[in-house]
Chain A
Amino acid sequence: MDSVSQGLPKSIPIPAFLVNSFSLFIYTMNNYVPGGYLVIEYVKKSHHDDPYRTIVELLLFLYGVVYYLSKPKQSKKTLQNSKEKYNSLSKNEIDMLIDEWTPEAIVDDSEIVEESKWRLAKIPVMDSNGIKKYLNMTRDEGKESYKNVFNMSSNNSLALSYTSKEITDEVNKTIKNYGVGACGPAGFYGNQDVHYRLEYDLSEFFGVEGACLYGQDFCVAASALPAFNKRGDIIVADNQISLSLQNALQLSRSTLYYYEHNNMESLENLLKDINDSIASEKLPDIPRKFIVTEGLFANSGDIANLPELAKLKYKYKFRLVVEETLSLGVLGATGRGLSEFYKMNRANSIDITFGSMATAFGSSGGFVLGDRHMTFHQHISSNAYCFSASLPAYTTRIVSKTLEILRRDNSSVSKLNELSKLLHSKFMSSDELSKYVIIKSNENSPILHFELRADFREKNFEYTKEQLYEKLSILQRRGFTTMFFDEYEDEEVFLQKIVDSVLENFNILISRRQIMLKHETLPILPGIRVSVTADMTSEEVSTSADSIIQTVLELCSSL
């Protein structure tokens, strides 16, 4: 090794350990590493040809080492800022800041909340007779009590789950064989034969390729739709969709557009614009495009125009998503929903259908219908399906049995349609009523919605839909936790007075539209809903409709 250091110019002071380790390296490379001498030869040759290159490469190597050893920098700027701020303060200063910080209460505890609490006392509580045509109920922690109340508030439109002995027997039998809970998510032994059977039954009944079950109807859309969407996808939605769809759109992270409620012209213009702008952007992939609407609107009771929607969806290459929570089992001659109502084929017209087992089918849970690719993907990537326990076995049997009954005998559906029309005609035929309230519901909707006429509201409660929406949006943007508007509250109180009066004088249960303003991101108004179920008789519906109309007239005219 001495020979190496002798070969070096004396004037450059190189530390001995560098020289030693370098020569040791060359020595090992030459003698012990197979093929090592080739590397040395190569380096020597390249150094000989171009000495500067060696320097550059050496510097590059050193830079690599320095880079590797340096601390990774925080990628998020905001995080870095908060760290910087934190580090710049002394411990005492930090402790002082922490002491000073006073958080808000976990939920709003202001007086305003107390003022809206009257709603809690108005929630009806049924006794062991259950939720049937006639029910016994109490309110306000048992302070008010009513017997044999005529129930015009239920969503269980077909009422088969308690009128059909076949179904009640099946429930008993299933609980005797399966117990209650399924005790596991679908992927982990939670799906029993009855769950699979219901998926087959649903897809057969509605004429689609597949179905996917969920534990609760409200979370179906919010889990199923985001499974397909990501940033950059496009959703065009009706501007009166219900909250479950609003949540779904929020979670889907897609670009949102709203069209005027049931206005096909507005939709077509929007679709055209969207397609034009996509074409001009020249994206490498086509984005997923969806039209989202409801079958029977939960907030008004009117019906989507499926033939037109299907035409537009084909024309502009969109996929159609319809939330049919309230229309399956109700619309169409045999209860097959919106597509049957327009005498169309579900598989050709609607790509994704969200349904509920808790409404017309009288059980609990929800489901999605669609083609096999769609359901395959649901089964593997929808959060509420994969990470949540399967439904209790008996709930699936109720629906399977209901479908079986509907297949051979559609009398309950036709009866329901008849009653819906009767209720609707009763309300529409009163000229006096139309001075105060407006009815937007379709005659086929078993739930009739009415709300105060705009001019009547403005006169008595001094606000309009637009004003309410504007105020609401401002508060939401500012991040207010509690939404409280005096004029809205006054109207709610007035509507509750109608509900109470109908209950006290005629023993009929109707209800205010349930709205949580805090969550609603679209314009919405208070209203009253009256519903019929298939086990009622025409006389019952007719006389109760008269009683309700009479009460509304009395109270509205006395305002």
Chain B
Amino acid sequence: MSQPANDTRVPLIEPGEVSVDIKRENEFGALTSKDYLYKVKSTHGKQLKPSVFEAPPYYISLITYLNYLILIILGHLHDFFSMTFMKDKNIGLLEHDGYAPWYSKFESFYTRRMKKRIDDCFSRPTTGVPGRFIRCIDRISHDLNEYFTYPGTTTMCLNLSSYNYLGFAQSEGQCTDAAIEAANTYGSNSGGPRNLIGTTDLHIEAEKCIAAFVGKEAAMLNSMGYSTNANFFNSFLDAKCLVISDELNHTSIRTGVRLSGAAVRTFKHNDMDYLEKLIREQIVAGQPKTSRPWKKIIIIVEGLFSMEGSTCNLPALVALKKKYKCYLFVDEAHSIGAMGPTGRGVCDVYGVDPNDVDILMGTLTKSFGAAGGYIACDQWIIDKFKLDVSTVAYGESIPSPVLAQIISSLKTIIGEIHPGEGEERLQRIAFNSRYLRLGLRRLGFIVYGAPDSPVIPMLLYCPSKMPAFSRMMLQRKIAVVVVAYPATPLIESRVRFCMSASITKDDIDYLLRHVNEVGDKLYLKVSNGKSSVPEDGRPPRWTIEEVLEKTPEDCKHDEFFIEEQGLIS
């Protein structure tokens, strides 16, 4: 490449010269043994036992707060000197020539002074397919992440960071072929908004496929997942409606609800007793000031919460919704495709009839390797939405290659093309998720989430352990995502492993060995055993060899997961 070695811009990387077989294997590892499959069981309308969100030992919390204290003090010192002596560098933060600063010093303090220190762990540029392995572009940090240079080389890392749940991020296979064909026949442009000119028969087909898949009468597509939520609620809610929202709901939902002007009450994550109390209270009290009854009350939850890995308690929610005549909106951004015996999301997990949920929303970015989002509900409601949801008339429609990817991946999951392949993918991700979760718990880490959830958050607590963990994993060629405040509570910094069907059991062994080693070095094994099945009353601290020997078999059994021990009807 003609790229100079110390360029500060991300180079455009030429695809590597590898044979098709190796490329395919890099994107989607072949299954090594039939033992490494797990068929998810539906709970048939029963509730799982609630996950235990284990609290860390007191000294860990204390150290974490201390850690922040030091960071904040240093940050303010840093700010003081920087603002006094290096005014030019901080022009975005300071008043100049009578203009107000671009953004507030106080509000951006966290990102400038804390996130900046670990910026090398975020936004790592990649190239190629984000499949089983991801090709990270090497970069060298300068002046405490002030800027980066790119030598033009890349590193293949094991990918636990992409939302590639079912492994459809591929450049080989039926989905890619379909996408290319669509690009060549339909073209890759979108033309304009759906109601104006942006609709093709491919849109209609994709909508029908999705509706059939999620078990609703009709569906409606939008070209961006975030905007599906952010521009949705104002089409049917107003200031006289009440939204009851889980406290951990995604920003897109909050933005959308804010745009609608509806009143909002939040309830503690998955706390059904409090939710019921809140609903009763709100129905009785009605709107504030006027005390008139609410026009409608809608409960908004996510199917699988992206930072905790926990599922919503759908059977209880449906019961509440029916009892109190509320409406239920479930955002299945992470769960659709990735969870349930047939991949149909959280309804499938609990064996709940999709018709008991009023509106199902989901994104196509994740399990389907495409882009965009959908809303699924009854036909007459969709018809109304087509006249009322702003993106349909003002935003662009989904381009055809993406639609082709959606349709072909959906058909693979239900077994219409390549029968058996979709089922294998579902069983692989279920096995992988259970194996990694149980393995980590046995090693002594604190891990959140439902057993089958492909989102596996492992708690790190101290902010300083985040960059350490991320960098050490990168040295071991594993790409992981570390998350902290504001996406999580302040002290609960975590690493989030996103499991994928493309990863093999050997990859997880490799991962476990390294996480074990790094976990020892960083003192991360602090579980007291409350979130896992107790073994002789002691906190779990298995050795890595024991874990690798027993977990692949054990993880297929209910008795090793506290959530699956006895379902509540």
Within 8 Å by CB of A82, from B190, B236, B285, lies B285
A441 at the interface (CB under 8 A from B): no
Q: Is B191 an interface residue (CB 8 A)?
A: yes
Q: How far apart are A277's CB and chain B's nearest CB, in angstroms? A: 16
Interface residue? B275 (CB, 8 A): no
A138, B200: Cα distance in complex, Å: 9
- Specify which chain B residues have a CB less than 8 angstroms from the CB of A359 in the assembled complex: 192
Smallest CB separation, B458 vs chain A (Å)? 15
Is A374 a contact of B102 with CB atoms below 8 Å?
yes
By the criterion CB–CB under 8 Å, are B280 and A86 in contact?
Answer: yes
Q: Is A19 an interface residue (CB 8 A)?
A: no
**Which residue, B180, B186, B368, B387, has most C-beta atoms of chain A within 10 A?**
B387
Q: Does B380 contact A (CB under 8 A)?
A: yes
A196-B125 contact given A130-B400, A162-B187, A171-B183, CB 8 Å threshold: yes
Residues of A within 8 A of B104 (CB): 230
Chain A residues near B293 (CB-CB < 8 A):
101
A362-B325 CB under 8 A given contacts A188-B161, A392-B402: no
* Chain B residues within 8 Å of A189, by CB: 124, 126, 130, 134, 136, 159, 161-162, 479, 481
What 1/0 flags go to B1-37 for Cβ under 8 Å of A? Answer: 0000000011111010000000000010000000000
- At the interface, yes or no: A347 with Cβ under 8 Å from chain B? no
Q: Which residues of B contact A243 (CB under 8 A)?
A: 390, 394
Q: A389 contacts B225, CB within 8 Å?
A: yes
Given contacts A162-B187, A189-B161, contact A514 B95 (CB under 8 A): no
Q: Is B365 among interface residues, defined by CB-CB distance under 8 A?
A: yes
Whether a CB of chain A sits under 8 angstroms from the CB of B128 is yes
Indicate which residue in B9, B171, B296 contacts A196 across the interface (CB closer than 8 Å).
B9
- Tell me, yes or no, whether A515 is within 8 Å of chain B by CB: yes
- Tell yes or no: B396 within 8 A of A by CB: yes
Interface residues of A in 310-368 (CB under 8 A from B): 317, 319, 356, 358-359, 362-364
- In the complex, the answer to whether B325 meets A131 with C-beta atoms within 8 Å is no
Contacts of A362 in B (CB 8 A): 188-189
Residue among B136, B187, B235, B288 with max Cβ neighbours from chain A (10 Å):
B187
**Chain A min CB distance to B10 (Å):** 4
- Whether the Cβ atoms of B184 and A168 lie closer than 8 Å is yes
Most buried by B among A109, A217, A317, A388: A388
The stretch among B247-255, B505-513, B515-523, B554-562 that forms the contact with chain A is: B247-255
What CA separation (Å) do A178 and B201 show in the bound complex? 26
Contacts of A128 in B (CB 8 A): 185-186, 200-202
Instruction: Determine the chain B residues whose CB is within 8 A of the CB of A187 once the complex forms.
Output: 122-123
Q: B309 at the A/B interface (Cβ < 8 Å)?
A: no
**Number of A residues whose C-beta is below 8 Å from B?**
123
The complex places the Cα of A120 from the Cα of B218 at a distance, in Å, of 14
Return the CB mask of A58-100 against B: 1 if under 8 Å, else 0.
0000000000000000000010011101100100001001100
CA distance A362 to B397 in the complex (A): 12
Contact B370–A180 (Cβ < 8 Å) = yes
- B239 interfacial by beta-carbon distance below 8 Å: yes
- B405: nearest chain-A partner, CB-CB: A180
Of the residues B325, B366, B395, contact of A103 by C-beta under 8 Å = B325
Q: Tell whether, in the assembled complex, residue A286 and residue B100 are in contact, meaning their CB atoms are under 8 Å apart.
A: yes
Chain A residues near B239 (CB-CB < 8 A) = 479
Contacts A154-B191, A216-B224, A364-B223; is A193 near B126 (CB within 8 Å)? yes
Residue of B nearest to A379 (CB): B123
Instruction: Select the residue from A102, A124, A509 with max chain B CB neighbours within 10 A.
Output: A124
Give the docked Cα–Cα distance between A179 and B405 (Å). Answer: 9
- Residues 425-453 (chain B) with a chain A CB within 8 angstroms: none
Which A residues touch B546, using CB under 8 A? none
Chain A proximity of B209: nearest CB distance (Å): 16
Q: When A188-B122, A388-B252, A391-B371 are in contact, do A97 and B283 touch as well, CB less than 8 Å?
A: yes
- Kindly state the separation between the CA atoms of A64 and B108 in the bound complex, as whole angstroms: 36
Tell me the smallest distance from the CB of A246 to a CB of chain B, in Å: 10
Identify which of B12, B234, B371 contacts A197 (C-beta below 8 A). Answer: B12
* Contact status of A120 and B200, CB under 8 A, knowing A85-B285, A161-B187, A180-B369: no
Nearest B-chain residue to A230, judged by Cβ? B104
B115 contacts A by Cβ under 8 Å: yes
A175 and B251 form a contact (CB under 8 A)? no
Q: Give the CA-CA distance A251 to B260 in the complex, in Å.
A: 10
CB proximity of B293 to chain A, nearest CB, Å: 6
**In the complex the two chains form, is B395's CB within 8 Å of A219's CB?**
yes
- The reply to whether B129 and A178 form a contact with Cβ atoms under 8 Å apart is yes
Inter-chain CA distance A130–B403, complex, in Å, is 13
Instruction: Find the residue from B226, B250, B358, B386 having the highest chain A CB count within 10 A.
Output: B226
- Most central of A218, A285, A287, A362 by chain B CB within 10 Å: A218
Determine whether the beta carbon of B180 is less than 8 Å from that of A172: yes
Point out the residues of chain A lying under 8 angstroms from B200, CB to CB. 125-128, 130-131
- Asked if A94 and B280 make an inter-chain contact with CB atoms under 8 angstroms apart, the answer reads yes
Tell me if B383 and A215 are in contact (CB < 8 A). no
Indicate which residue in B191, B255, B381, B399 contacts A395 across the interface (CB closer than 8 Å): B399
Task: Report how far A317 CA is from B223 CA in the complex, Å.
Answer: 37
Asked if residues B176 and A511 are in contact (CB atoms below 8 Å), the reply is no
- In residues 428-473 of chain A, which contact B (Cβ within 8 Å)? none
The answer to whether B197 touches A131 (Cβ under 8 A) is yes
Interface: B213 (CB within 8 A): no
> What's the Cα separation between A251 and B161 when bound, in Å?
31
Contacts of A85 in B (CB 8 A): 284-285, 291
Docked-complex contact B191 and A155, CB < 8 angstroms = yes
20 A-B residue pairs with Cβ-Cβ distance under 8 Å, sorted by A, are A86-B280, A104-B296, A106-B381, A107-B236, A109-B380, A131-B198, A131-B200, A175-B176, A175-B179, A176-B180, A179-B175, A183-B369, A188-B162, A216-B226, A247-B259, A377-B92, A383-B226, A389-B163, A516-B390, A519-B235
Chain A interface residues (CB < 8 Å from chain B) = 78, 81-83, 85-86, 89, 94, 97-98, 101-109, 113, 116-117, 119-120, 123-132, 138, 151, 153-156, 161-162, 168, 171-172, 175-184, 186-194, 196-197, 200, 214-219, 222-223, 227-228, 230, 233, 242-244, 247, 250-251, 285-289, 317, 319, 356, 358-359, 362-364, 373-374, 376-377, 380-381, 383-384, 387-389, 391-392, 394-395, 398, 479, 481, 509, 511, 514-516, 518-519
B binding-site residues for A, Cβ under 8 Å: 9-13, 15, 27, 91-92, 95, 97-104, 108, 111, 115, 122-131, 134, 136-137, 159, 161-164, 168-171, 175-176, 179-180, 183-204, 222-227, 230-231, 234-236, 238-240, 250-252, 255, 258-259, 280-286, 288-289, 291, 293-298, 324-327, 358-359, 363-366, 368-371, 380-381, 383-388, 390-391, 393-396, 398-402, 405, 479, 481
Ranked nearest first, the 9 interchain pairs of A and B with the lowest CB-CB distance are: A373-B92, A218-B395, A82-B285, A131-B191, A388-B226, A78-B288, A358-B396, A216-B224, A196-B10
Extra inter-chain contacts (5) besides given A197-B10, A222-B255, A223-B255, CB under 8 Å: A180-B401, A190-B162, A384-B224, A388-B224, A392-B370
